Amino acid sequence: MSTQLRKVITEEVQRRHGYKVMEAKIKPVHIANALMRAEHQGVGRMSVLEQLFEATLTKNSLDKRVAAVRSLVDGQRDRWGALGEAADLKSSALMTKVLPLIRTLLGADGAVFGRSPEFSSFSSPTALTVTGDPSDDGAGLFIHRLWGGHDPALRLDILKLLSDLTNPEKSPADMDDLSALLSPLVDSTRKRVISAVDSEDLRDGYSPVETALRDAANNLDAYERKLNPNPIASLQRVVLLAALSVFMHAASRPRERAGMPERVLLLDASGDHSSPTVLASTRCIAQLISDARTYMALVVGDLLSAQLPDWHADPVSALNGILQNSGIAPLEDSNVIARRLQDIVKEHDDPNEIVQEVTEEIIRQAEGSSSRGLDGYLRLLGIRAGFLYPAQKNPNKRLNPADRTLEVLVASTIDVNQPPLEYRDFLELLRQKWSIVVGGRVDDGVLLAEIGATVPARALSENSERFLSRLESIGLARRLADSVAVVGLLEANHE
């Protein structure tokens, strides 16, 4: 029953926002695969990759792996040349070195191997290796729509950048080294028409958060074109921005859809696990996670209300109505979930208490043994995008972005076609675009105190100074005379 409840709730979330949040598997590489699939409207023909999978899958018997290599060679001898002419394929360089190396390259940087290429998302800079893997649960298509992928009037230049970087029709001479290596593994591409995502959030224009995310995409596009880095580094940043945009959009649903308070996130630059800024940053993320759980409960409450206006008096009937509308058999009175909901009604006289406990119980049942709600989605995506820390199972996360993530945050905040910003002006834009504070603005302490994350003024000032030093270390800030600092693209060779 938990799977069926989860299906109902996550489909409602997707109807509202364009992506699902309850499968506990999202990675940036999933988003990249789906984003390229939507942009190029196609997937690779991967018979060679299927054989490579068989030949390098360690759980396969040696005989099965050798047979796969033999089939690979027999099918396209001209592709493998001398590598396929070894008398003993079992000990050949093709089987022991080349094919395992190719699989390692496809699996770099967080790639996900499924039971076949079709259910895998590769770390690849070319759309030749795009698959039909649905593991992004709509996130890639949401970003494609957010960036205007199906409307020329709204289409952002970052999609042209993405298209140019990953173009499956590039000649080998124009490909980056990795694409050139991978291209022989794909016979060709085949058309797969991907319709635009249809969700309430993107149906009638853009909300303030969505507008800010589009502006961030424009800024990163300008940064990439001015920087002109190697294609793989550029694509990595575009994908990372896509993942951060999904995170920020999902994190802001409680505010934009349910009128909950705006939150700020304190970026901790202290490096000291017991510092006041660590504790305050952890408090900020905990508040974001709490809001996410509250919002999911509100989603469930809305579903129940659509069945029975006064559903708190008979939550089982309301839940059964939802299940039946989705083609799922209703709960029997003896069902453990039905009994628990009935007990909640008996335990409380206050309808508000019943509403809270029933919705929370349904969420718990839908999540099963894992944190599969919006809160878990934010934790998982935040960690995998290098936004939240630590990466271990410690539930107490704080905002401490990795260098690559920090670069994307800065690049999507500033306009590189304008002179470098004074540090204090940059901090104001960072708060406006990403809801991030570091302690360098006058009212940062007040905003943090409002959520119970009080930090001494001196600690905030020191945190801001350390953050500025970190920006300097990655070439995006410089201290000038008279205690003035600027932020921007300051090094022509920055990568």
Between CA 51 and CA 44 the distance in angstroms is 14
Contact 138, 197 (CB under 8 A): yes
> What is the pLDDT, as a whole number, of residue 495?
44
Tens-digit pLDDT profile for residues 272-294:
888 999 999 999 999 999 999 99
> What is the pLDDT, as a whole number, of residue 158?
98
- 398-399 vs 388-389, strand pairing mode: antiparallel
150: how many CB neighbours lie within 10 A of its CB? 15
3-state SS, one letter per residue, for 85-109? HCCCHHHCHHHHHHHHHHHHHHCCC
Tens-digit pLDDT profile for residues 117-148:
888 898 889 998 999 999 999 999 999 999 99
> What is the pLDDT, as a whole number, of residue 491?
60
Bridge partners of residue 188, in order along the sequence: 45
Which residues make Cβ contacts (< 8 Å) with residue 37, sequence separation at least 6?
43, 127, 130, 131, 132, 140, 192, 194
In this prediction, the residues of the chain whose per-residue pLDDT falls under 50 are 492-495
Cα–Cα distances in Å, from 430 out to 71, 144, 225, 266, 424? 55, 24, 21, 11, 10
Residue with tokens 């049942």: 365
Residue with tokens 């390692």: 104
DSSP state, residue 348 = -
> What is the pLDDT, as a whole number, of residue 369?
67
Between CA 259 and CA 424 the distance in angstroms is 29
Residue 127's closest CA among 172, 197, 179? 179
157: how many CB neighbours lie within 10 A of its CB? 15
Q: Where are the beta strands (DSSP E) in 193-324?
A: 265-266
Question: What is the share, in percent, of the chain residues with pLDDT greater than 70?
Answer: 98
Q: How many CA atoms lie within 13 A of 69 on its CB side?
A: 28
